[in-house]
Amino acid sequence: MSTENTTEVLAKAIDETKDVVQTDKEEVTFKIQGENVTFQIINKVASNDTN
């Protein structure tokens, strides 16, 4: 059960990061162990609509 939860959390984080990188936002916030943790995106040069 723990592995499934970890995989689900990781998949959501990847999807959210991809969405943020493809916009003008420069920060992404994840809920990690019940706390909101904010990360700053510092390099978006290699991102586009397909990756």
In the prediction, which pLDDT does 3 show? 58
In the prediction, which pLDDT does 50 show? 60
What are all long-range contacts of 8-17, with beta carbons under 8 Å and residues at least 24 apart? 17/41
Residues of the chain with pLDDT under 50: 1
Q: With contact defined as beta carbons under 8 Å apart, do 31 and 38 qualify? A: no
Domain assignment of residue 47, yes or no = no
Q: Tell me if the pTM is above 0.75.
A: no
Domain extent, residue 18, equals 2-40
Structure-token pair, residue 17: 């990061």
Domain assignment of residue 46, yes or no = no
The closest of 10, 44, 13 to 29, measured between CA atoms, is: 13
Name the domain count of the chain: 1
Domain assignment of residue 51, yes or no = no
In the prediction, which pLDDT does 8 show? 82
Tokens 């162990």, located at residue? 33
Domain assignment of residue 49, yes or no = no
